[in-house]
Structure 1
């Protein structure tokens, strides 16, 4: 198993002067936590997509390679001004160069309960569709989520995605920011780029149309997107409560 972590964003909303993946919570950076937790679940190789603050991120990763005894490749996205789909595509050479059939994908500013990751890894085995997305059911367990910012998903009775976006009229799941993708997904991203569409959600919409976008429901575990000061405070509170 292998993992791509997107860490190229400009960090305009949290504005700490460093990439969001280097924010330290309870003595550990978000990036270090990702590497530690995913390695525990069997991930062998990591590909980190850098962008904004690349020098600081690369310096931190040189230490983390040793700390976690991890196989880490860093690829720089010089067009980090574009949306996150462009960063995903930057991993194409790494995925294909290592002969991977599939890979996991997440964001450097997300945080997961280790059991959330464990459950998704288990449930996503035997990948049949091009994309599998870990989703959660809206409820009290994720009441801390920023409802205006979270990506929402409408899923049918077969767990297939019907629509996705931050502003959609109907939804029954939250996008948690953790994916399992077949290597052929890069063809879909290229189709999106040809139309100057650079978000992950726009490429997912194309996979929806071809019946290749499925969800995996992972309930009962905490996760968050550390995207702004409010998210940061809610995450610290969750960690204090031993929920992360």
Structure 2
């Protein structure tokens, strides 16, 4: 009996994939940030300054802090400005490869699909308008994923989300995501915009594209149908998406409070 148990554990360990520090971190920075106009009229949203650093610089610092250095930035709107200001990543201690997504206006799923030939079977996906504590990302890469399954960092502390109406809602049964979308009436967590994907996401996106659906959540719904989408809760750690000038003011206040508490890391 003990031998059978040991064999079972060994078989399971073969299925579990540890995230390699050599794996890619993909940052989607293709959108035009229309809700942040006029700030985004002449430059991408990810380059907007918050307390001395641009949004994407804070993201790069957080990624580097936990030892990930292979970055892919997917660009679209004002792509040359991003590449000119951020460069090859050396000043941030990372290596950056740029991919231009000519179909960025269709939806953010096209930006994910654009990296299909340059990522392996395990990669991180981040949004260039989401700030986060680096420990959120550490939790994602440490999660024991089984082959073909994908992961979303979620926030179950819904009462502390100041803009729930704008947030993407998630419903989970234990750690398995059963539904996702902005219009969900029944949900128990919020999507924080931080993913760990396998190549199964590309098959799912192809199915959603066939239906002329180009949002990441559209592809994720196919993963959900097959029980391949998991969630991990970030607990009380900081994160914030930035869509409007009100969001900018809110995140500045949050960062100042966190700096005063010397709490965590969020791309300083």
Cα separation, 2, equivalents of 1:39 and 1:171:
33
Aligned length: 235
Matched, 1:227 2:243: yes
Q: Given the alignment, which residue of 26, 30, 33 partners 1:4? A: 26
Q: Quick one: structure 1 residues 127 and 58, their matched pair in 2 at CA, closer, same or farther if it must change by over 3 Å?
A: farther
Structure 2 partner of 1:120: 140
Instruction: Report the TM-score, using the length of structure 2 for normalisation.
Output: 0.83
Residue 111 of structure 2 corresponds to 87
Give, in angstroms, the shift of residue 70 of structure 1: 1.7
The aligned residue for residue 209 of structure 1 is 225
Task: Answer yes or no: is the 8 Å Cα contact 2:133–2:239 preserved in 1.
Answer: yes
The answer (yes or no) to whether the contact 1:188–1:207 under 8 Å persists in 2 is yes
For residue 8 of structure 2, what is the aligned residue in structure 1? none
- Comparing 10-19 with 125-134, greater Cα deviation is found at 125-134
Could you tell me which of 122, 138, 159 is aligned with 1:102?
Answer: 122
Q: TM-score, normalised by structure 1?
A: 0.91
Distance of 1:102 and 1:14 partners within structure 2: 33
Paired with 1:174 and 1:189, the residues of 2 have a C-alpha distance of 21
Task: Return the match for 2:161 from 140, 143, 147.
Answer: 143
| Cα distance in 2, alignment partners of residues 108 and 87 from structure 1 | 12
* Aligned position for 2:94: 70
Is the CA contact 1:129–1:213 (under 8 Å) kept in the aligned structure 2?
no
Q: Counterparts in 2 of 1:174-213, with a 5 A limit?
A: 174-213=190-229
Q: Structure 1 residues 78 and 211 mapped into 2: Cα distance closer, same or farther (>3 Å)? A: same
Alignment partners' CA distance in 2, 1:162 and 1:45: 31
1:27 maps onto 2:52 in alignment = yes
Deviation at 1:66, TM superposition (A): 2.5
Offset from partner CA, 1:158-183 (integer Å, 9 cap, x none): x1111100001200000000000112
- Check whether the contact 1:135–1:174 (CA below 8 A) recurs between aligned residues: yes
Contact 1:134–1:217 under 8 Å retained in 2? yes
- How many angstroms apart in 1 are the aligned matches of 2:226 and 2:145? 19
- State the alpha-carbon separation in 2 of the partners of residues 79 and 185 from structure 1: 18
Partner of residue 14, structure 2: none
Q: Which moved more, 1:126-135 or 1:179-188?
A: 126-135
**Corresponding residue of 1:52:** 77
Select the residue among 169, 184, 188 that pairs with 1:152.
Answer: 169
String of CA shifts for 1:65-105, please: whole Å, max 9, x gaps.
Answer: 1211321110011112111111110111221xxxx220000
- Aligned match of 2:150: 131
Deviations 1:96-136 (A, max 9, x none): xxxx22000010000002222223322x2444443100001
C-alpha contact 1:10 1:80 (8 A) present in aligned 2 = no
Matched, 1:161 2:177: yes
Distance 1:160 1:143 in 2: 22
Larger Rg: 2
Aligned Cα root-mean-square deviation (Å): 1.5
